[in-house]
Amino acid sequence: MLTDDLLALQDTDSAIDQLTNRRGRLPERESAATADTALTAADRRRAAIVARDGELDESIANLEAEGARLRAQRTRLEGQLRTVTSTRQAEALQHELDALAGHQDELDDQELAHLDEQGALQAELADIDAGRPALAAAAEEAAAVLAAAEGVMDAERANLATAREDVAGRIEAGELDRYERLRVRFGGVAVARLDGARCTGCHLDLSTAELGAARATPAGEFAACPHCGRLLVP
């Protein structure tokens, strides 16, 4: 009967929809995502550390080059200081030497801070490298568990798809097209049963007159729910 076939088709489609929804919300999927996120975060942090370490190396090299320039300038000024006879010139040279010494101290402080930061980064990098194999193994295992769970559902869905094909093959093309259009319109549920006076599609009660009209529908035909418009099977 058309009624039975459409109901069977609706039940099968609903089962497929529910399975698809469950597949997207598998707890194994969340576990796999969490494990993958942890691994990705570790790799990103490692890359950031390596990049920062390179920046510090470059900065230290520049500081050392600047320090060499200051030392050369200091040597030159000290040589001049030994040869000048004017007190005013000597004071000026000494002032420059004091300024160079202050600048050198600043460079040394910066280099020391960079070296301290590099030490902390290298320690963090060692921790990341030590922990990464475990993170990678956890991500791989979680992905395998997810794939197994998906495989079970995919097999179930394949069985449902075969059953759907068999039921759909018994329905006339025009009715099947009507059903498919209604499914799109009503979010997947085109055919609803009457549960007492209630439409199982929209879960609203029909009035006594509406209920009588629905139950008086000839066999092989469908009433429409007065509330939601779905095909209604008494």
156-163: Cβ within 8 A, 24+ apart = 156/19, 157/16, 157/19, 157/20, 157/23, 160/12, 160/15, 160/16, 160/19, 161/16, 163/12
The Cα–Cα gap between 32 and 145 comes to 8
**pTM (2 d.p.):** 0.73
Which has the minimum average pLDDT: 33-42, 164-173, 213-222?
213-222
pLDDT reading at 233 higher than 90: no
**CATH for 26-142 (3.90.1640.10, 1.10.287.1490, 3.30.390.50, 3.40.50.970):** 1.10.287.1490
Q: What percent of the chain has pLDDT over 70?
A: 99
Question: Is the pLDDT confidence value at 234 over 80?
Answer: no
From CA 175, how far away is CA 194, in angstroms rounded?
20
Count of Cβ atoms closer than 10 Å to residue 6 Cβ = 23
Q: Where does CATH 1.10.287.1490 sit in the chain?
A: 26-142
